[in-house]
Structure 1
Amino acid sequence: MLADLLFGKLLTVTQRGFTLVELVVTVVVLMAVSMLAVPAFQTAIGNAQIRTVAESIHNGLQQARMEAIKRNAKIKFTLATSSAWQFGCETETTSCPALISQKSASEGASGNIAVTADYYTAVFTGFGTRDPATDAGLSRVDVSNAQVNEQERRQLRILLAAGGYARVCDPAVTTAGDARTC
């Protein structure tokens, strides 16, 4: 009778928590899913770095253009291959400094980012256009990331028109009428 009571009581005890086997299986499944997701995350982060640098250069060009209009003076934008940029007055005066704003390469950029341009300087006039007196100036900037596989890379390009308008485009898009085309 006592054995039946103990057996019955032992059989009615409910289990709480995980068993060791369930825990090990869960950890193995999570590790397998994580290993599959890591390359996709690296690609997404690398492409986001490309976008960040391209937008930074685009914003720098727009700021330089607005400063030229605001000060009614020639503003020189200078780009470095490390994605750093700066702009200031072409002719320094007390009211127009040689350095107005700058962004260092360490701000939001990775060492894997490559920036190539046709020229590394652009001069904006007081009208906001590129200076026609400057025979050669920046008109195209390509931003890429060596960390991302070439097939998955979303290289971006910044185009600077003679009128001073800068835009970011995707050289891989070739569909007519698409706003992302270069």
Structure 2
Amino acid sequence: MVFRQSRVGGQRGFTLVELMVAIAVIGIVSVGTIPLFMTFLRAMQTRGASQELVTVLQQARELAIARNTDYRVEIEPDNNRLRFVRTSDNVVWTGPGTDAQGYRRLVNQTRLTCRKPEPPSFITFNPLGSAGGGTITVQNAQGTSSLNVVVSPSGRIRQCGPTAANCTQCP
């Protein structure tokens, strides 16, 4: 007959107190990191939406160059949407990602909070790719994070942090 020992190599398990202490330490660390993670998550949502806006504005610029005509980007902050309109005859461009009226919305329920130049001016791209210039602020749904998307008169589109509450341009 062969007898087996219940403890192999003299090892023993964890006590209930040791497991409770380990769970408590994990809980304390989690409580401290969750707010930081949520702040990071909201900032990344804002960055993603502003990058999407940069891509959409670049699409309007490329459309103006390809079709050899001026296109303006009409932005409606109240309805949180935008669209492209050919300036020569006010025909709305419809394509992938737009509804029947040519409007599109940004992802993550972000908001377009302010724009310079002020209404009724719009950001207009000409066939050479240059623009009238302007700044659009993208803000997350909670209102805790925002980024500016700046269109320079040369047509360059870039994103930067908000430098002031009144939508100032990037430094």
Q: TM-score, normalised by structure 1?
A: 0.66
Given the superposition, is the C-alpha separation of residues 15 and 98 from structure 1 closer, same or farther in structure 2, using an over 3 Å criterion? same
Picking from 45, 48, 66, the partner of 2:44 is 48
Q: Deviations over 1:107-127 (max 9, x none)?
A: 2x235x452112463221212
Q: How does 1:80-99 map to 2 (within 5 A)?
A: 80-81=76-77, 83-90=80-87, 91=89, 98-99=93-94
Structure 2 unaligned runs (5+)? 99-103, 165-169
**Matched residue count:** 152
Given the superposition, is the C-alpha separation of residues 84 and 23 from structure 1 closer, same or farther in structure 2, using an over 3 Å criterion? farther
Deviation at 1:13, TM superposition (A): 7.2
Q: C-alpha separation between the residues in 2 aligned to 1:39 and 1:146?
A: 17
Deviation at 1:69, TM superposition (A): 0.2
Q: Could you say which residue in structure 2 is the equivalent of 1:156?
A: 147
Given the superposition, is the C-alpha separation of residues 45 and 65 from structure 1 closer, same or farther in structure 2, using an over 3 Å criterion? same
In the alignment, is residue 64 of structure 1 matched against residue 69 of structure 2?
A: no
Structure 1 stretches of 4+ moved >4 Å:
9-13
Q: What is the root-mean-square deviation in Å for CA atoms of aligned residues? A: 3.3
Q: Deviations over 1:65-112 (max 9, x none)?
A: 01110111222222232653332434367xxx632454423x2x235x
Give the aligned residue type for 1:142: T
Given the superposition, is the C-alpha separation of residues 160 and 86 from structure 1 closer, same or farther in structure 2, using an over 3 Å criterion? same
Give the aligned residue type for 1:165: R
In the alignment, is residue 166 of structure 1 matched against residue 121 of structure 2?
A: no
Q: Could you say which residue in structure 1 is the equivalent of 2:74?
A: 78
Contact 1:124–1:130 (8 Å) recurs in 2: yes
Secondary structure, in 3 states, of the residue corresponding to 2:109? Answer: coil
Structure 1 unaligned runs (5+)? 1-8, 132-137, 174-180
Contact 2:147–2:159 (8 Å) recurs in 1: yes
Q: TM-score, normalised by structure 2?
A: 0.69
Deviation at 1:128, TM superposition (A): 1.4
Given the superposition, is the C-alpha separation of residues 32 and 148 from structure 1 closer, same or farther in structure 2, using an over 3 Å criterion? farther
